[in-house]
Structure 1
């Protein structure tokens, strides 16, 4: 058989493909690989692959693909819809047009990306991780009434947040926002923060974060909580927080973990299993401040109650004392009045019984040896006695029971 020129073979392949695919598009399922994105020029070159679902993950097919300027908006739309950066190793459902060029070879021109397929895959992967955590670590993660609970979530919060371990990327917007909100709180609260700087997103981030958590675990007694923040405006690449490793580490961490990883619509596994989750680093700082503010308000409320109770008690005691004083005064006046009456009566009696007054009424006192004689038996013949009368005293001698002067 006579050989043909390479160009003739290329043109033949082009003709066959044109006849088969011109004016047609097909939906394919493929995984992204080797992405070369040029945002300034608004086109993207990438490789689509299909891998064996077995343990070896061998490549079964590989084709080059492009996203040209007129479809470049598909990338941004995909990222906004899924919250996932358009990067390698993502399973996609794509509508493509098959093209062939004698110089550049076979290429798939991407016309459409089905967001729901990717979201479904992500949710299935996420659910598989949660199911595995519940199965592998029932003491750390469990379900009740369709809701996930973790050992970290049931840890008690301290009365006041005082010392925090902060995990964030060095020099990141999230780190600055958290620090600024904490330092400039309206109440002047001081919370000590130790920084554990780490890679937060991208390949290997989950291991870097887990390593910092391991460091903090060794000094867990020094901290009230761990705060993980991520910022910078991007909401796309937080896949490191949606992994088995992060879920296991956060769920069983011995002190409360607060996540403020800067996402808007997605709830990651870390968000779901940590002690508390907020949307941004600023809100994470506000969460701590609000908790401390609630404690202060409770103290102020109790102080006011104590002051009011003290005032009421003092007023009640004052009223009771005044009443008791009035009652005592009245009782004292009555007692004195009664004693005065008794004294007057006794004075009259004493006055009547005064020997001088008795003598005036014709009585006399017999006195022997300085003592008043009250019985006849006390007198004996020849006793010398004094007879006291009202006006004078006379002396007499007892003689045979007859008185002689």
Structure 2
């Protein structure tokens, strides 16, 4: 046996590794673990692992594990990654890393992370999300389907109430999202009243997916006629946002019987919940603003109808007034002609009556024969020797009748 000193072995390993990897950065795919980050000092220690992907998430075998670090000169790569992806640099993320391999006789083997490729992480997230969407379309075609490249859901097709006033709110108790939503509703400039029933629960982190779905089930079985369900979430990382990208959330939201409005506080990516809910906005504040604007549109349509009704009524009254004026003028004209004709007719009749007046007839040389004050129009019935009166224009005389019809003065 020819033992060697530990330092000789370490120096040999250092030389071998330096010869194989020195000044030759390599790209590796690994999952983060055991992160110890020191932002104030500008460096970070972590462990990179590879696990067997064939096992379950709870019991996957670790295939490899190496220590790694990010020194001050490359510490900006953490912020660059978070800004590009919206994903917090945290444990259990699979990353594509550019690393240099180094070996120290004192500190052992360690990888120095030089760069993190954000496109790999974004691609992974997108692939995982697309797999969930594909499974939903395949397994629940009555709830989710593709139409002209767009995902259509039963929840999206629900009729939207003309006024959204009775709201079921799912939010974390005391969170910024809860506070922003309630404040925006309460301070709306139109004075609208909203009835908000709170279904408070965690909305991010482990277990959030089931907690949210449980609250949705409570809302469904409450037998309360809600106009909308609003899900809001305040700040947080993209990893915290993961509960809204799951199969269970997608299925529950897509088939929910009340329109769901999502304002879950993200700016970059659109989650599965956003894609499948009735309406999606960026933030809790905008969710409240959406409800206010929706109700404002209804009020404006009512005001528009009121103004239109006033205008139509005014025009109808003006038309009726003009028609009444025309009919009044026509009636006045007809009545004028009628009275004129009546006056003419009466004048003619008056002339005729004047002509037929006995006094006027007597003036023309005619005479009236009277018996006992009654005018006789026939000779029949006159007895011989009967006294009659002859009325003429200038007076009357009495005569005695004879059978020969010759009258003699009395």
The TM-score with structure 2 as length reference comes to 0.89
Aligned residue in 2 for 1:362: 365
- Paired position in structure 1 for 2:37: 37
CA-to-aligned-CA distance 1:301-349 (integer Å, 9 cap, x gap): 2222222222222222222222222222222222222211211111111
Partner of 1:49: 49
Give the secondary structure class of the aligned counterpart of 1:265: coil
Q: Does 1:203 align with 2:210?
A: no
Partner of 2:116: 113
- Contact 1:227–1:257 (8 Å) recurs in 2: yes
5+ residue gaps, structure 1, are none
Q: C-alpha displacement at 1:2, in angstroms? A: 6.1
Partner residue in 2 for 1:20: 20
Q: 1: distance between equivalents of 2:126 and 2:251?
A: 18
2:348 pairs with 1:349: no
Report what 1:141 is aligned to: 144
Displacement of 1:268:
0.9
1:329-344 counterparts in 2 under 5 A? 329-344=332-347
Task: Give the match's secondary structure for 2:240.
Answer: coil
- The alignment status of 1:171 with 2:208, answered yes or no, reads no
Q: Identify if the C-alpha distance between structure 1 residues 374 and 39 changes in structure 2 by more than 3 Å, giving closer, same or farther.
A: same
SS for the counterpart of 1:255 is: coil
Question: Secondary structure, in 3 states, of the residue corresponding to 1:238?
Answer: helix
State the match for 2:159 in structure 1. Answer: 156
Number of equivalent positions: 405
Distance 2:329 2:270 in 1: 73
C-alpha contact 1:235 1:264 (8 A) present in aligned 2: no
Q: What pairs up with 1:159-238 in 2 under 5 angstroms?
A: 159-219=162-222, 221-232=224-235, 237-238=240-241
CA change 1:226–1:80 in 2 (3 A) is same
**Unpaired stretches in structure 2, ≥5 consecutive residues:** none
- Judge conservation of contact 1:42–1:68 (CA < 8 Å) in 2: yes
Shift of 1:270: 1.0
TM-score (norm 1): 0.90
- 1:267: which partner in 2? 270
SS in 2 for 1:23: coil
Change (3 A) 1:71 1:355: same
Deviation at 1:288, TM superposition (A): 1.4
Q: Is 2:255 the partner of 1:252? A: yes
How large is the RMSD of aligned CA atoms in angstroms?
2.6
Please show how residues 376-387 of structure 1 align to structure 2 within 5 Å.
Answer: 376-381=379-384, 385-387=388-390
